[in-house]
Amino acid sequence: MPEHLRALVVILALSIPVFALAKAPITATISSAEDFRRRRNLWFFFTFAAFFAHSFWLFALMLTCALVLARRSETNPMALYLALFIALPPLSQSIPGFGLVNELFAVDHVRLLALFVLLPAYMVLRRQPGTEPFGRLLPDKLLLGYLVLEVVLTLPYRTLTSVLRDSVAYAFTDVFLPYYVASRSVRTLKAFRDALGAFVVSVLVLSLVLVFEYRGYWLLYSALDRALGVDWGWNSYLTRAGNLRASGTIGTSILPLTPHSPVRQHPRAMESWALATVAFLLLVFAFAIQNGFVQLLSVRQSAGLALRRTHGQLWGIALLLVTFVFWHTLVNPGGDVDTALRSTNALAFLATAGIALVLSLAVWIGTTLARRRVVVLPATAIVAEAETQALRDIDLQRTFKYGPRALAEKLGIDTGRAKALRWRLGIDRDPGCRHDFEFGKMKVARYSDRAIERMREAIESGANLDGVRRAYQAAGRP
């Protein structure tokens, strides 16, 4: 049996248990079962296509067709991108220039993801009302400045075609599209969890591949370029202290242990299986600390917000402890405080974090003081009719007290699915469920508890929210 097919058997033996074990926790609170199943199936399709196509262009055509079909049902394009971009090594093949230039465009599976998943999402997002135009935010300006600086610094050493290809075409697909879609489409904590959960599952598979490669002294993807007829050149065996530097689908060796780690200082004191286990546990620890820090930031729909509302002091203590551990793992992963504090990177990180903390405290103190200011207005006579109208407005505000976003958060779904479900149930046409408050020329829609009860009953009865949303979009609704 050829080497790449034997490697495929091992990859399947490692990945199938990961997806099987990850399904329950991921579909319970992070992603829907349909989204998890679609991304898992695409991961396996990518893998089978790479190992069985025996032609790079046939492989690229298969991936293109699969992505075009999957894009129609995908609710979070950034999650699909993160789930698949490390599924395979970035094997590439250049489209020839037909005598005009050396090459037109290099194609790999990551750029196919950008072109057929992120590019359609970009076209939709830029036309949506409420989407920030590119260039308005500070990170937009920093990214644009970086791209321009890269062109200015390298322009004297490159040809015009190289600049157009590398600094325009590749910068658009490899840098701009992932940034734009991530910054404009991942707006809620649910979408962020969905995207990060898809990435974590893919990383867990990669982690087991790295452990196997290190322990078995076999790069599982090393023969894939020859099977596809591609001259890649990044799959050579590299060793350090007699140990293989595993690369997996990354294309280059990654050493998960830091230079100051005691395991690295005494490599022969432990068996190789123990080293691999420690590396895997360090990865799990890093993800756990990062997730705990994000949860305790007390953003919407997070465990930290619920803990802060019920046990404020306990939340404060937990936030301080997790923040300390999180910063410690970033600044001082080796355990040597003196060495870490002499590092320029560590000092720069601590200075940036300190400035951000001071600014955050200043903003919090300023807003708190502004809310406590009391403005005393002179007493005025109120006629009976005006008083009656005022009481009626207060009663309406107590009855219709939920905005569209608050309504979706009460139901535990995103605003898009909530809007589609309101359309299906006729909530907006029911005067007992919706009331429009007028403030001059502006109308503000608010919803009552009755609207929440009707929508919750529909969800608990098994309403297919994704199907309702597709029907809502097919009807030409915004």
* pTM (predicted TM-score): 0.58
Give the C-alpha separation, 285 to 256, whole Å.
Answer: 12
Bigger pLDDT: 382 or 33?
33
Contacts (Cβ under 8 Å, ≥6 apart) of 2: 223, 227
Give CA–CA dist 256/275, Å, rounded: 10
User: Could you report the per-residue pLDDT of 453-469, keeping only the tens digit for each?
Assistant: 888 888 888 888 888 88
pLDDT of residue 66: 95
What is the rounded distance in angstroms from the CA atom of residue 46 to the CA atom of residue 88?
A: 8
Q: 300, 247, 281: which is closest to 90 by C-alpha?
A: 247
CA distance 118 to 78: 7
- Distance from the Cα of residue 28 to its chain's centroid: 18
What is the DSSP code string of 219-284?
-TTTTHHHHHT---------EETTEE---TTSSS----S-TT-HHHHSGGGS-HHHHHHHHHHHHH
Q: Give percent of the chain with pLDDT exceeding 70.
A: 78
Greatest mean pLDDT among 15-29, 258-272, 293-307 = 15-29
| CATH level 2 (architecture), domain 399-474 | Orthogonal Bundle (1.10)
Of 39, 33, 415, 19, the C-alpha closest to 190 is 415
pLDDT bin (cut points 50, 70, 90) of residue 287 is: low
Q: Residues, the chain, total?
A: 478
- Mean of pLDDT values over 189-198: 91
Higher-confidence position of 23 and 359:
23
| Lowest model confidence (mean pLDDT) among 68-77, 332-341, 343-352, 403-412 | 332-341
Domain range annotation of the chain: 3-209, 399-474
* Angle (deg, nearest 10), helices 3-29 and 33-52: 170
Rounded to the nearest integer, the mean pLDDT of the chain is 80
